[in-house]
Amino acid sequence: MSKKIILIVIDGLGDEPIPQLKNKTPLEAAKTPNFDFLAKNGVCGLVLPWHEKGKLPTSEDTHLAIFGYDPKKSNPGRGVLEVLGIGEKIKKGDVCFRGNFATVDENSVIIDRRAERIEDTEDLIESLNRIKIKGVKLIVRKAFGHRIGVIFRGKNLSTKVSSNDPKKVGVKVLKIKGQKRMVKILEEFLEKARAVLENHPKNKKRIKEGKLPANYILVRGAGKLKKIESFKEKYGLKAGFIAGGTLYKGIGKYLGMEEIKVKGANGTIKTNLKGKFLAAKKAIKNFDFIFLHIKACDNLAEDGKFLEKKEFIEKIDQNLKPILNLKNVLIVITGDHSTCSLRKSHCNLPNPILIYGAKKDGCKKFSERECKKGKLGILKQIDLMKKIFTLTKGF
């Protein structure tokens, strides 16, 4: 009988040595007795994140690669994954975007890319859904916090359009470029959305209260749904996922995995870690494979908060108990890509990996430097599933 698998992906886990942490990485500096127990009694190595040539790795590409899918062929665009993650059905031909509320001034210069991370956006979204665009049905849905998913439904729509997001403040929003008709549709939406938002009572109230109005929509990641082999078709395994962040729910759904819902799992530092691990322990009885995603390390590192990243790693470790002594289950723990706290961005450094439940290689601790000595060696992300399967056989 093959073993079952729980794969834990800690987003942005790997990092560089940091002078303020005595030249240790956040993972090395963290007290992680449970990770270390699994590493000591398992096998370790490093995983090279998948990325396009000359670019930094993205979460969606690296996840697809972890699951053994070639990101070049299988990535449908971030918009599709976000919309799936929200729980919205996508029809053939729909063009999906991820988007967010932002604040611009009268000259379309960005003041805040996230409109002070506005959260209560339900009534704004309701108004946006009343916008009419000729020949196209518009669907706007709420995602976590200030984020939204946008779907354009109609005939012969194109994904060949650029984003209006300059990704920094103090500059003008970018002009949309690309396929003529789609540019026109998108521009019409953005213009009408701006008018609706400028006049919305919620924004008038926000201004009165000294807050920034959520008066603009930034869109990016245009994509259409792709038909790909499901995880079940590819590996013959019944798979479930546990995730808080919308993108990761979308990736799970895109691969045909079943969602295991956990109250309070939300992709932030306040996520219900204990609930997630308890749910994984319970669910593995009915599934062959569980993908459990934890987001916050990535966000903390992107904000330069290496100390908080270290502390959050410790918090994950403290909540790991439910899955420590499962019978006939292989535990795999790794990151999707590294996020370098000092650079405040994703980086190309490899991620440590530990696989517990098969062999032992004398690794002392779960960390970048210690895993480098591990018997798994340095793996390409796309080969990871194959490697895991070789370790599950023969039990």
Q: For the window 9-38, what string marks contact with Zn ion as x by the rule CB under 5 A?
A: --x---------------------------
Smallest distance, Zn ion to C-beta of residue 378, A: 20
CA distances from 324 to 42, 43, 76, 280, 363 (A): 12, 15, 36, 11, 17
How far apart are the C-alpha atoms of 69 and 90, rounded to whole Å?
21
Q: Is 315 helix (H, G, I), strand (E, B) or coil?
A: helix
β 42-48/351-356 pair status: antiparallel
Q: By CB under 5 A, is residue 336 in contact with Zn ion?
A: yes
Residue 86 CB-half CA count within 13 A: 24
Stretch of residues binding Zn ion (CB under 5 A), selected from 82-90, 171-179, 242-250, 334-342: 334-342
Cα 82-253-268 angle, rounded to 5 deg? 55
Q: For the window 263-302, what string marks contact with Zn ion as x by the rule CB under 5 A?
A: -----------------------------------x----
Smallest distance, Zn ion to C-beta of residue 125, A: 26
Question: How many chain residues bind Zn ion (CB under 5 A)?
Answer: 4
Alpha-carbon torsion (67, 70, 74, 77), positive or negative: positive
Smallest distance, Zn ion to C-beta of residue 337, A: 5
Smallest distance, Zn ion to C-beta of residue 31, A: 24
**For Zn ion, which is the closer residue by CB, 94 or 336?**
336
Residue-wise over 193-225: b if at least 16 C-beta within 10 A, else e?
Answer: bbebbeebebbeebeeeeebbbbbbbbbbbbbb
Smallest distance, Zn ion to C-beta of residue 381, A: 12
**For Zn ion, which is the closer residue by CB, 59 or 334?**
59
Stretch of residues binding Zn ion (CB under 5 A), selected from 51-59, 97-105, 205-213, 317-325: 51-59
Stretch of residues binding Zn ion (CB under 5 A), selected from 254-262, 279-287, 336-344, 380-388: 336-344
**For Zn ion, which is the closer residue by CB, 196 or 242?**
242
Stretch of residues binding Zn ion (CB under 5 A), selected from 32-40, 58-66, 234-242, 384-392: 58-66
**For Zn ion, which is the closer residue by CB, 94 or 298?**
298
Give the number of residues written for the chain.
Answer: 395
**For Zn ion, which is the closer residue by CB, 220 or 281?**
220
Smallest distance, Zn ion to C-beta of residue 336, A: 4
Q: Which tokens in the block code for residue 46?
A: 């490093």
Smallest distance, Zn ion to C-beta of residue 302, A: 10
Residue number of the CB atom closest to Zn ion: 59
> Quick check: 98 and 85 in contact, CB under 8 A?
no
Q: CA 314, 288, 78, 296: dihedral to nearest 10 degrees?
A: -10
How far apart are the C-alpha atoms of 120 and 107, rounded to whole Å?
26
Give the list of residues 6+ apart from residue 72 with CB closer than 8 angstroms, or none.
none
Smallest distance, Zn ion to C-beta of residue 78, A: 12
Q: Which residues bind Zn ion (CB under 5 A)?
A: 11, 59, 298, 336
